[in-house]
Chains A and B, each alone.
Chain A
Amino acid sequence: MEKMTFQQVNEVIYKKVLDNGLEVYVLPKKGFRKAYATFTTKYGSIDLSFISNGEKIEVPEGIAHFLEHKMFEEEEGDVFNTFAIHGAQANAFTSFDRTAYLFSSTTDIQENIETLIDFVQNPYFTDENVEKEKGIIAQEIQMYQDNPDWQLYFGLIKSLYQKHPVQIDIAGTVDSIYKITKEQLYQCYNTFYHPSNMVLFIVGNIEPEETINRVENNQKNKTFQKKPMIERIYPAEPKENNQNLKEQKLAVAIPKVLVGFKDLSVGLTGKEFIKRELATALLLEMLFGQSSIFFEELTTKGLIDNSFSFEYQIENNYAFTLIGGNSINPEQLINELKEEILKHQTDQTSLKELFERSKRKKIGELLKKLNYPEYIANQFTRYLFNKANLFDILPTMEEITLMDIQDRLQEFDPNRIAISIVRS
């Protein structure tokens, strides 16, 4: 068992890599009543094409999410029942790159960890139960079709990306999920749910040594296939946007708009990954944050409201920036955003004043997030999959210089933006 201490934030993590490759992390949080655990596979909606044991495989869109739904069913019934008896609420989510199974509970924590591992390591798919799930997922897809913010967000990704599967809806389409078979689910399961492709993270009211021992014993009593060689195939993404503008018609009160920038070079890991993520987030805060001149002016003009936000999403093989929100005049907002970027690119004096202040804000925000076990478990795993460490964020933030910000700013090309608009 390895011990990692993060003095500034007063946290300690215990780690062990088991013989079968499973990585286990435990972070005890003093004074907390609950434990929160995530059991995550590095497998998400973008993994639609891969080579498994020498064979090239293509699977329907939305299969990772479908698999997540089906994991909860065991031969004896729904695993929610077992969790409920032990006072745990379980859930799961599928993102572009990960599928995470989780629970939160204040009692019977060791039993609940065991249930979590056991149900994820025990797939039970039949033709009948796969068929039955299709109606439920179709309703989930339809719910998202009526959600304008989700459609706006996906509209932007679809206009940014020509080839990369990040532009495919996580849940797939009603058509694609109706094509999914039991055999395909097992194939994906056997490829991506091997312990060596997974991470168990437990945070909260938990004793590290006992926990790691129990997990280790649980794994020793099971047999696993030999570690599969996984090669994921992602098509090369051209520099050009897929389309400059995607407009959708949905019942909304005021129009919604997002503009986006696609990163042209990707593949960062470790500290470089963190540094780029932080520099971009800091830059966006400086230009468009609530204490920026831009925010004040556009609020006065009535062009933005509290929904205005910005985000940088980065993973190993794709990254993009998005900015926007509700606006009575999307076209004018787009022009104002472009001009603001150009203005700062030509005259960087105002960046100097903003730098230290915005940096303080970002540091404080990170501390706040460390109050939440959910944030710690999910983000620690995410950084791990990008060969980085969540607890390097604070020291890395302190190292970022104004020059890093200035360099990053020059990358934004206002002539290459992609736009997504939703209006009635």
Chain B
Amino acid sequence: MRDLFVTNTVNQVRIHTLKTDKFKTNTIVVNMAYSLEEETATKLALLPHVLIRGSKSFPSYKKINEELDLLYGSSIDSFVFKRGEKQVVQFTLEVPNEKYLKETEPLLINAIRLLGDIIANPNIENNAFQEEIVESEKKRLENRINGILDNKIQYAEQKMIESMCQNEKYHIPANGFLKDIKQINGQNLFDFYQDWIRQAVIDIFAIGEFDDQPFKDSIEFTFKSVSRLETKIPPNEIDVEITEEKIVIDELEINQGKLNIGLRTYTSIQDDDYYSLLMYNGVLGGFSHSKLFVNVREKASLAYYASSRLDSHKGILIIQTGIEIDKFEQAVEIIKKQLQILKEGEITQKEQEQTKSILISQMREITDRPRTWIDFTYHSVLSKIDRSIEDVIEGIEKTTIEDIVAQANKVKLDTIYFLRDKQKEGK
């Protein structure tokens, strides 16, 4: 059984719809992708937050949220993230299906009008966003950027990526840079907004029970006054040479040391051997039966978590663990040994089978959550490789131990990053 979205394009906006009665809500996701660039990253990170403070028809945050309450707790969330070297603004709308309520109004269409108004019909004065709102959102963006410090696991990961990819666009954080916030004002942000709304690559996904025509009409209506352009986003930089293994050590007032190791896999979601990469990551550190968990945690009792994960668009693999500070060398040694034995082909049939089973099971359950289903499809859309869930399952099934070993031998360690406690001076 193939569960596929149907795609239509209206005014350079791709609309992907899928009908199912599995869920009690209708879910809409609007993804707007833009090239990740030093000059625009910070403005772009700020934009959705300014937009969601008020539109033409709902000119304040309070008005928007009153309307959402009336639509039975429909929710609109905005989020900015990176997919490889693309910066994506995502708006998510989740609307209860009125058939479960004592309600006859079509909640979904009203909610889309609201979201459309927020995205394409901003509350502006004299061709500029309102200064007061821009200033308050600038302050909040500053807090978000600084706030990454609160989550030490995320903080260490971002620091590692900044040093590993310092010469690639990928080092630019999804939230942009503190230094660039100051120069933003209502005028230049609105100027940028006008480029962005025309040039961003827009994909709109909808899952649930709804009528197609009114849905498409409401999307068309949203973008009717925007002259949308066809845009090409440059490809991701994947084949970056490594000259030497970098070691970076930072200090912070913390109890537990955070070790992050960045590796280049030289394989991405666009490649045929992508399945070998998925299997490699699974055997190495994706799960509780994986080599990292078993050797760093279960055998050496060094850590509570020890895992690896992929950015499949960028072809980067990140190993993460939290350890006693004086166990740094020991942990690095154990991790390097796991990388080495994978290169040498030390993978049991059992490890291969376990990893396959779990990866396939994870693929199958993608369709049980609207958001993960959309996310999977967006990976395909962005990578321009049209793979269905069944295609991926088949690819994983076919992967041999030799394939995994071949991938292991492509992998190169780039950066070892360690966040440790503050050392006493003068010793």
Contact = CB atoms under 8 A, between A and B. Distances in A.
Q: Do A and B come from one complex?
A: yes
B151 to A, nearest CB: 8
Interface stretch (A14-22, A56-64, A353-361, A406-414): A353-361
Given A139-B322, A251-B253, A360-B70, A367 B361 contact: no
A34 interface: yes
B7 to A, nearest CB: 22
A106 B139 CA distance: 46
A291 B69 contact: yes
B380 interface: no
A360 B367 contact: no
A305 B140 contact: yes
B25 A253 contact: no
Given A89-B287, A253-B149, A140 B361 contact: no
A296 B289 CA distance: 48
B62 A90 contact: no
B245 interface: no
Contacts, number: 197
Interface string A279-302: 000000000011111011001101
Contacts of B253: 250-251
Residue among B254, B302, B304, B355 with max Cβ neighbours from chain A (10 Å): B304
A142 B256 contact: yes
A244 B23 CA distance: 45
Contact of A136 (B147, B304, B369): B304
Contact of A296 (B61, B288, B361, B364): B61
Nearest to B289: A84
Nearest to A137: B304
A403 interface: no
B289 A135 contact: no
A271 interface: no
A105 B255 CA distance: 36
Nearest to B422: A251
A134 B297 CA distance: 11
Interface string B89-107: 0000010110011000000
A105 B68 contact: no
A379 interface: no
A87 interface: yes
Given A85-B353, A140-B304, A362-B73, A31 B21 contact: yes
Given A90-B288, A146-B254, A361-B69, A136 B303 contact: yes
A34 B304 contact: no
Given A80-B289, A132-B301, A370-B24, A305 B73 contact: no
A365 B72 CA distance: 8
Contacts of A8: 100
B218 interface: no
A29 B21 CA distance: 11
Contacts of B147: 253-254, 326
Contacts of A93: none
Question: In the complex, which of the residues B62, B150, B256, B355 has the most CB atoms of chain A within 10 Å of its own CB atom?
Answer: B150
Contacts of A254: 143, 146-147
Contacts of B322: 139, 142-143
A251 B73 contact: no
Nearest to A365: B73
A107 B361 contact: yes
A106 B364 contact: yes
A345 to B, nearest CB: 22
Nearest to A300: B136
A357 B22 CA distance: 27
Contact of A139 (B101, B323, B361): B323
Interface residues of A, number: 72
B65 A291 contact: yes
A273 B299 CA distance: 45
B369 A371 contact: yes
B150 A252 contact: yes
A290 B96 CA distance: 18
A370 B370 CA distance: 13
**In the complex, which of the residues A306, A367, A372 has the most CB atoms of chain B within 10 Å of its own CB atom?**
A367
A130 to B, nearest CB: 12
Nearest to A285: B69
Contacts of A299: 61, 136
A265 B249 CA distance: 52
B65 A290 contact: yes
Interface in A222-277: 250-254, 256
Interface string A368-412: 101111000000000000000000000000000000000000000
B152 interface: yes
Interface in A1-45: 8-10, 29-34
Q: Which of B69, B75, B101 has the most CB of A within 10 A?
A: B69
A145 interface: yes
Contact of B254 (A251, A289, A364): A251
A120 interface: no
A357 B101 CA distance: 14
A84 B72 contact: no
A394 to B, nearest CB: 9
A299 B370 CA distance: 31
Contacts of A29: 22
A108 B384 CA distance: 34
A338 interface: no
Interface of B: 20-25, 60-62, 65-66, 68-75, 94, 96-97, 100-101, 132, 136, 139-140, 143-144, 146-152, 252-256, 287-289, 294, 297-298, 301-305, 322-324, 350, 353-355, 357-358, 360-362, 364-365, 367-370
6 contacts: A85-B353, A133-B301, A135-B301, A136-B304, A254-B143, A357-B69
Given A251-B254, A300-B132, 20 more contacts: A8-B100, A81-B350, A84-B357, A85-B357, A89-B361, A104-B361, A135-B302, A136-B301, A139-B256, A139-B322, A146-B255, A253-B150, A291-B62, A300-B136, A305-B143, A360-B71, A363-B96, A364-B72, A364-B73, A371-B24
